[in-house]
Each structure stands twice: as structure tokens, then as C-alpha cells.
Amino acid sequence: MEINEQSVVQILQSVKYPPKDQDIITLNMVKELSLEDKTISFTIVFDSFNNPHEKSIKANAVEKLKAAFGSDIDVKIRAIGKVNVNKMNVKSEPVKTAKPLQNVKHIIMVTSGKGGVGKSTVAANLAIALAKAGNSVGLLDSDMYGPSIPKLMDVEDARPSGKKIDGKDFIVPMEKYGVKVISLGFFIKKEDAVIWRGSMVTNALKQLINEVAWGELDFMIIDLPPGTGDTQITLAQTVESTGAVVVSTPQTVAINDVRKAINMFKAKGIDVPVLGIVENMAWFTPEDCPDKKYFIFGEGGATQLASEFQIPILGQIPIIEQIRKDGDNGTPSAMNENSIQGKAFYEIALNVMKQIKKV
């Protein structure tokens, strides 16, 4: 049998989804089907996370496709049903009068114009510093393509449970270091790439907001992906954000991208207050020369930008090897409030709380 989209769909029509006694094609569970030489790739969308039928359905699909097209074909199946994504192809949704996360007092978005500036490290440490200051805190990793919060918080192998509230299924966030944590990284394998188009990302993100049992929180820290794309716009227009914290390094290329991020939050229809800038990797001080400062990535860029937009510098974080080690080990630096790096993050948390009172 020739491998083409029609013949593959025909074979997959024989793969049944037991709970509904219908095939996965009829149930519209097969997405993003692509063919290349002898490789068949597609996504199966389940109606719940941790679906008990995932393994058997994938195995059944592989078996039937190889039987039809030959044992030498390569079948790549991505399962994204561990998060309830059965609405991902909905192009529009009814306008809701009430914003989600109504039980959260302050929603803080941590953003950057570009990747590699330490945004997720700042988000994780800010959440912990706020929690250690006596607040109830949630941490949402909204970077669908590169979720790093599970690694930073040492919950990389965690798998959240579920529970029913008023008859509706909710995901129970993981708790670590006094912070409630949720990330798409909990529902995919570490080595798997998330190959989603914008609408799928948008709807998955909304579900991590609306279908997680967050409870009452003083602060929700949202770690945004870099840039000014779908995720940033969706969050800004979906939740009632208190403000944004912008992370940058001093170098010119980072500052230029941060300027774009700030302008996005100030744009009409977004209108999220920018609480201030965190300058990461501000300088390097050798251990044997504690009075020396080497401005490896430049000097004064963040200060100039803060002056341009009339927003404060919330804190400056030097280049310290221990911050990198703490992140790799899943023990964020804010856990040690007496260290140089710990004090830097506590200063940022204190300044964020001060700025919130001014908004």
C-alpha cells in the first residue's frame, strides 16, 4: 500500500479509543499528520492528562501502520493528552466577563526581550523570596517550547495529580520550597520537542490557568517565554495582571529587545504596568578580588533604559558561579537568604512589593 495521507488516515480509522468505542479519526484525536519518506508523524490529543489508554493506543497505531506499510517505516507519535487539550483547535471562544485567577491578589509577569538573560532564574528565585517573606505564592511556567522551571525547582520528574472540584476536573500543582508550581514540562518527556502551532499553545496555556487548583494566593509569578508573541499577548489579555518585571543583561542587543518588550506591555489593548527592570549578569567580581568589578556585558544599559521609560531598577545581579550551580542542582539561590546571590533576589522581591503599592 502506498504511503499517503489518505491511506494513513484509513489505517488509523481502525484504532479505537475504548472509552467512547469510536476510532481516533472519527473522534478528531489525530492532529498534525505529516509524511516524509518512510516516516509517519502525528499527534494524538487525549481528553485528559495521564490518560490510561495512551500507551495501548500508541502501540496499536504503530502495529497497524507497520503491518500496512512495512516494518521498516518509522512512526513518530506525540501524545499531548496529559493536559486536557481537546479544545485546542477552537479558533474563537466566548468572551468572559470575569477574569481567571480571581483568588490571586497579585499576578506578576516576568519577561525578557530575548532568551538567555536569566529570566526563568529570576522568576523562580523571586517566587521563593516572596514565599519566604510569608506570602502564599504560585509559579506558572508559560514557556511551552522551553519549560525550565521544573529543572530550576527540582521537580523535573514530578507528575501532578488531579482532583474534582464541584464536579469538574482540576490539576493539582506541585509544591516545592513553599511555592505551588505548574509547567507543561510536567506533562511531556524531557527530551520531547513541543511541535505546536500558535492556537494549540494559546489554548494549552489557558488550561494551565483555568484548570489548575491554585487556591488563594498572594502572588502568582508567571515566567513568560522570551519575545513578544502569542503567549505574552494571550496572558496579558486573559488575566488581570498587576504588572511586569523585565529581565535584561547590560549588553546593547539585550537592551534593544527589552525596549520592544516594554513597548508591548504599554501598547493599547495590553496595558500592563511595568514594575521595573532586573539587570542580570551586571558585573563580575573575582573571589580573590572582592573590590573589583568587571563589566563583561557592558555598563549602564539598564539604567539608561529605566530612565528612558521612567521605571526603576529593581535589582542588579552579578555574575556568580553559584547561581548557575544552584539552578543546575534545583536549589535556587533564594533558599540561602544570607548569601550574596540570595540577598540580591530578596532585594528584588522587596522592591517588587514596594512598586506594587504604587500601581
pLDDT of residue 71: 92
Which of residues 230 and 160 earns the better pLDDT score? Answer: 160
pLDDT of residue 196: 58
**The one-letter amino acid at 67:** A
Q: How far apart are CA 204 and CA 102, in angstroms?
A: 19
The answer to whether 192 and 78 have CB atoms below 8 angstroms apart is: yes
Average pLDDT over every residue of 136-153: 87
The mean pLDDT of the chain is: 84
Among 72, 55, 252, 49, CA closest to 158: 49
For residue 97, name the pLDDT band (cuts at 50, 70, 90): very low
pLDDT of residue 49: 60
- Burial of residue 337 (CB within 10 Å: 0-12, 13-18, 19+) is middle
Average pLDDT over every residue of 109-122: 86
Average pLDDT over every residue of 130-149: 88
Share of the chain above pLDDT 70, in %: 89
| Domain spans of the chain, in order of start | 5-79, 104-358
- CATH topology for 5-79? GMP Synthetase; Chain A, domain 3 (3.30.300)
Average pLDDT over every residue of 147-160: 87
Among 35, 33, 39, 45, CA closest to 72: 39
pLDDT of residue 192: 60
Q: Which CATH number fits domain 104-358: 3.40.50.300, 3.30.465.10, 3.40.50.80, 3.20.20.70?
A: 3.40.50.300
